[in-house]
């Protein structure tokens, strides 16, 4: 399935996305503001805000934010969650198609778990044109992390995923968080529009019941697009394996690599 079709799948699970996806660590926002030096009431542009997971923490700090969201349902979720912040506006369109108001310029453009879905032929050049001289671009994703103490559940369930033909083809076990490469930093530099000013890694963990974990999986494009019979088989295996545990829960670690660049 193409990037354009996959990125549209998230809108079908808008309310679930807000509930099931984890919040980003507070320290990530501290690092973001430290690396960029921006202060309220600076004007921020968020690309792919979803239901507002990364919008609300910055709105609470007093920033003005223009948030772009492709999906109608996700944009509505964001507007509901941000209704108490008059300095925040949510616009329903794609970043590629969005035309800013005449003279609009931003101190920071950021994307949380969304930048990979933007057309690579467009995103860096357009971002640079929207930022003031010396303005910043910040990008981070939230990935499954496998530290030394990773839950063995995932090694067990991987065999089921591979049998279904849904593995990603990567090495097992995956690299530890400290060894994960940061291809975004290379892309920043290669674009010719941004010089990387810093990267920061954040690892955190959450406990999930079977229902909670399956709800999380239902917010990932690969699982949304999976054939129903495969998805049902995988979810049965998850429930069966967690039912055998004393507390019926698993621990999933998350990794966010924050990459910040200055417009050149």
Q: Return the CATH number at 86.
A: 3.40.50.150
CA angle 145, 259, 37 (to 5 degrees): 130
pLDDT higher than 70, residue 140: yes
Q: Report if residue 152 sits inside a domain.
A: no
Q: Report if residue 220 sits inside a domain.
A: no
Q: Report if residue 79 sits inside a domain.
A: yes
pLDDT higher than 70, residue 125: yes
Q: Report if residue 226 sits inside a domain.
A: no
Work out the average pLDDT over 56-74.
97
With H, G, I as helix, E, B as strand and everything else as coil, classify residue 257: strand
Nearest to 192 by CA among 123, 107, 259, 119: 123
pLDDT, mean over the chain: 95
Q: Report if residue 132 sits inside a domain.
A: yes
d(CA 195, CA 263): 7
Residues 90, 69 contacting (CB under 8 angstroms): yes
**Which of residues 26 and 222 earns the better pLDDT score?**
26
- Long-range contacts of residues 20-24, Cβ cutoff 8 Å, at least 24 apart: 20/212, 20/215, 20/216, 20/218, 20/219, 21/50, 21/53, 21/142, 21/216, 21/219, 22/142, 22/204, 22/206, 22/254, 23/53, 23/57, 24/53, 24/54, 24/57, 24/112, 24/140, 24/142, 24/202, 24/256
Residues paired with 258 in a beta bridge: 200
d(CA 172, CA 92): 39
Work out the average pLDDT over 214-238.
94
Nearest to 216 by CA among 13, 7, 69, 4: 13
Could you tell me the pTM of the whole model? 0.93
Domain count across the chain: 1
pLDDT-above-90 percentage for the chain? 89
Residues 71, 14 contacting (CB under 8 angstroms): yes
Q: Report if residue 100 sits inside a domain.
A: yes
Per the structure, the complete domain to which residue 191 belongs is given by: 3-147+175-207+252-263
Q: Report if residue 236 sits inside a domain.
A: no
Q: Report if residue 242 sits inside a domain.
A: no
What tens digit of pLDDT does each residue of 171-222 get?
888 999 999 999 999 999 999 999 999 999 999 999 999 999 999 999 998 8
């Amino acid at each position: 399935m193409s990037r354009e079709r996959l990125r549209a799948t998230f809108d079908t699970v808008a309310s679930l996305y807000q509930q099931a996806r984890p919040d980003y660590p507070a320290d990530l926002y501290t690092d973001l503001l430290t690396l960029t030096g921006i202060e309220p009431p600076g004007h921020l542009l968020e690309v792919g805000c979803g239901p507002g997971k990364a919008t609300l923490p910055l709105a609470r700090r007093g920033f003005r934010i223009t948030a772009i969201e492709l999906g109608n349902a996700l944009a509505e979720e964001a507007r509901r969650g941000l209704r108490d912040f008059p300095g925040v506006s949510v616009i329903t369109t794609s970043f590629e198609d969005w035309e800013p108001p005449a003279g609009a310029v931003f101190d920071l453009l950021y994307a949380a778990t969304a930048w990979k879905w933007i057309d690579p032929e467009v995103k860096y050049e357009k971002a640079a044109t929207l930022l003031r001289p010396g303005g910043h671009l910040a990008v981070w994703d939230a990935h499954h992390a496998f530290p030394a103490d990773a839950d063995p559940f995932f090694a067990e369930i991987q065999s089921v995923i591979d049998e279904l033909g849904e593995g990603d083809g990567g090495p097992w076990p995956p690299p530890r968080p400290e060894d994960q490469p940061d291809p975004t930093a290379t892309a920043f530099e290669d674009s010719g529009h941004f010089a990387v000013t810093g990267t920061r890694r954040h690892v955190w963990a959450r406990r999930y019941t079977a229902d909670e974990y399956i709800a999380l999986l239902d917010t990932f494009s690969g699982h949304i697009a999976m054939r129903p019979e495969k998805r049902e088989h995988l979810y049965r295996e998850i429930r069966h394996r967690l039912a055998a545990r004393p507390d019926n829960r698993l621990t999933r670690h998350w990794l966010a690599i924050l990459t910040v660049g200055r417009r050149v």
